[in-house]
Structure 1
Amino acid sequence: MRHENAEPGIQRSLIVFAVLLTALAATSLYSYLLFHVIAEFVTIVIAIAVFIVAWNARTMLDNSYLLVTGIGLLFVAGIELLHTLAYKGMGIFVGYDANLPTQLWIATRYLLAVTLLVAPFMIRRKPEPWKVFSIFAGISGILLLSIFVVPVFPDCYIEGVGLTPFKVWSEYIISALLALGAVAVYQRRSAFSPWVVNHLVAAIVVAIASELAFTLYVSVYGISNLIGHLLMVLSFGFIYLAFVETGIRQPYAVLFTDLVASEEQLRREKDRLRQYLDIAGALFVVLDRDGRVTLINRRTSEILGYPADAVVGEPWIERFLPPGVQARHRALFLGLMRGDAESGRYAKTPVLTADGSERIIEWHNTVLRDDAGAACGTLSSGEDITERQYAEEALRQANAKLNLLSGITRHDILNQINVARAYIDFAGEGGGDSAIPTYLERARAAVDEIQKQVEFSRDYQDLGVKAPAWQRPKDLIRESVADLALPAGVRVRTDLAGLEVYADPMVKKVFYNLIDNAVRHGGAVTEVRFSYVKCGQDLTIVCEDDGTGIPESEKEAIFREAYKRRYGHGLFLVSGILGITGMTIRETGVFGEGARFEIRVPNGGWRCGDGDV
């Protein structure tokens, strides 16, 4: 937690301490003894408050720093109370001079410094609270015995002389111990919130300044002593902000520092998992028990065409599946939630993309369960099999067309062979008959037709041999024009932008034949135009020319293999190539105004690389 994110109450506390220090300093003008009592009692109350927070939270603490510090501060507060009661002018400990409170002061400072130095090293340990309590009680007891019962504690203040060397050097040693404690806290700052670390370090730095101020006074009522006590109160004020105020208002910053670290680690693991999911080539979708999206990976986002944050929270079936399959897949999802895992474990589903097209995804679905074992959602991993589906369908259609072709070709070739054999026989029987040249010419024509059949079979057998692929009609048309070497005065114009179609590799022959037929059979053709238009989720590629066009009675016949006597096999081949990936072609022009061929490309079989249609 950062300072700027602190609650207003903590900021008000800083203001309160500033006012308190000013008011506290003002009380010294009336009575230094009153100032001293108030200053000491403020630190005693804060120390006890830290102990109360630490002790009551001891069963929840994973970080033992607060426990050790709290117990140590309790005993610091106890000895400091004795120091306050023994201060010069209080008149409670009869027979003692100003040396006694100074000895007690040094004892508390040593105990505080050792506490703040040792506590950072106990962060990851799990000491027994009562054992820690007993150790501090034993140390405090020894210090008090050395002062009151067996007076071996060195003198710290001599009336009329001032501070002893032991007292001054002790302050320096205590300052060094405190500095080491600050370094230890900073080195282990990952165990605390930034707020706690900053205020702990500030408390120790101010405490060091306080100790140094206490090396300068001669009188226990002197200005250096007053400054030292004000700095001491400020130091404990920072401790209050770090442990008491934060522990009450924002307890996780103190009591659950390991929880914060665990949450941070969990966040890092979650980010790492998301990175793994994003790297994976598969699609991942997580749905809650209501069928709403809770997570998708990058691949899914790319396929759908939506950013992840636009998908999360949406109902998957209603939003991203075509209407025709929603009912079936809703039943599968509900079956998974009821425990019928096998019914929907594998599913092949079309999904709707942002551009209105569909992609076919093969899913493997797994039920997610909560701690009680109840189904709480699903995790689906998927593979985009759109192209594979097209390829499989293309192969099926190619096999069917090849089987059909083999029957047609065999029948036609046999017919032509019979014709050729008959005319050859006529020629052989005719002797000097003048009809012999005619018979031979007709036999030659039959043989030529056989050759055309064989050549067509060679082209047709390539259908479906290679897998379909994404291809740019604009590039294929340009190559076809170059191969045809069109007559002067004939222009081919394209308006296809970045259009790509998923088609058999032989699709170039489609555009080649359309252009060739227009030039050879369209009359005085001067221009052939290619364009496209979106029709719902499908797309239509249009080929138009300004020739004579196709008579109404022949618009369907031109695509039949039997129509070869006029146009050859060109348009029959065109229809077969397009059919491999589900495309169709028809002629819709007006006779006398020019031919117009429309190629229908199904949803999923087209895309625009340079922009939307």
Structure 2
Amino acid sequence: RFMDNNYFLFIGIACLFVGLLDLLHALAYKNMGVFHRNDANLATQLWVSARYLQSVSFFLAPFFIKRKMKAEAVVAGCAAVTALFIAAIFTWGIFPECFVEGAGLTRFKIISEYLIALLLLGSLAFVRARRQAFDPEVIRLLTSSLALLSASELAFTLYTDVFGVSNMVGHLLKVFGFFFMYKAVIEIGLTRPYDLLFRELAKSEEKFRLLAENAQDIIYRFRLLPVPCFEYVSPSVTRITGYTPEEHYADPELALKMVHPDDRHLLKEMNLSPESARPRQFYMRWLRKDGRILWTEQHNKLTYNAEGKVASIMGIARDVTDRKESEEKIEILNTELAARASELEALNTELEAFNYSVSHDLRAPLSNISGSCEVLLMDVYAEALDDQGKYFVRSIHGQTKRMNHLIDAMLNFSRVNRQELCRVEVDLSNMALAISVELKMKQPDRRVSFTIAEGAKCYGDPVLLRTVLHNLIGNAWKYTGKQESAEIEFGMTNAEGKTVFYVRDNGAGFDAAQVHKLFRPFHRLHASSEFEGFGVGLATVQRIIHRHGGQIAAEGEVGKGATFSFTLQAGKTVPAQATETMRVRAIHLNP
């Protein structure tokens, strides 16, 4: 009942029925007068049937090592086989003859003994292969027993007289074989039951002892009743705290002494009222033997005695000092980050106020200057100015207009990061077409050919994405202004699994070595006298693309045009439209 090795139980049940057949074999000998048949063949038949049951049982027994077995089923099986043998010999008379008076053993008897010997040797091989399941002394006794039983079967193939020497030798070998089996199962099982019944438990205990002694964490068991003391503390306590296990065993109060004064109430509460609903996991500061502070994470489990009272506390303590210090640093960084965020919020508020000031306070004087210049250029006052005076007035008027546009550009650039995104499906093809038409209406005399891919769609903020296309297509329009036949293309393609939108032109282009300067605010690669502008358009485009989780890149060559390509956040485009070959719509805007 207490063993998980069913080998011996199977052998024991089988031997009960083997013994029954052996008893009948002994009673069937000549002159015993028990059975009406008074010949040697009956005893030999019963002997062979008993040996078959014995050898087959021994052969099958190793398969029940570490396997579940229903004893009732084994008893029923052995009883059925025994009953069949008895019926075949006594009732039906169909069991083959084994001994003939005057002639000796039959061929069936000799072959059966060899077969039985082979089965016993096979059983021996199986037992040796699974010797880890047995005590070393038990495996030696089993080996001797099975070897002797196999030898006895061979001896029984040589005799011609049931009272001959060979027959006697076979019986003696059988007695010694069962003697060793008795020693293995009965004597050791009774005199040293733990070696046999609880061998696996001892091995398991050794395994967990080695695990505890080599664990990086502290494993402990503290007894509360009847006298508080440490029953076990793993050796890792010395490395972590500086105190040895022996010091804990000698001083039950050491657990309280080494706890940080500010955390001792946790330990006191646990010892004074262990039944309280405390969390099983908690953190506590300890004082090392050298005075340093360390943080521990503890997991405790309570054990109870028969009266239902808490008898001991088993637990694991882990040194989490590095983790706690990291958490404290992260907390400090988060506090500093929150302070910086607050400062940035204040700066943004100031920037908003500045923008408001620029929008209202600076525009008013500029409007007055611009209006005054327009008045001076009217007929009434124009006559009082010579040509040089008129030139100066026109220059002032032009600069005020330029200053007003620069203020608009600055305000638009500052609003990009603060404007809330509203993502919807956007048809960039239709948006590009509308921008192209607007540009053509402003300069209807230009020869420009627009090529716009159809079905270029994405998810994003329609207002901000229109700003992107307006800047990119507007730049292409501006920098192709000196081309006799300008070409501007908007399209979409796939690159490394990403949807890429692009705007390409055959305009002035730029030096590829200066590409890193393109997206700097208020930085231009072309002089204002050559192409007008303030240098904030591409910087604005980059900010919008980044807010959409994408990237923007530029390629160009002086005199051969430029290509600006951009991506949006992965998964936010409409992939069904992103094909390698797209239908395009060519729009020729000629004078």
TM-score bracket, shorter-length normalisation: 0.3 to 0.5
Larger RCO: 1 or 2 (CA < 8 Å, sep 6+): 1
Q: TM-score, normalised by structure 1?
A: 0.46
Q: TM-score, normalised by structure 2?
A: 0.48
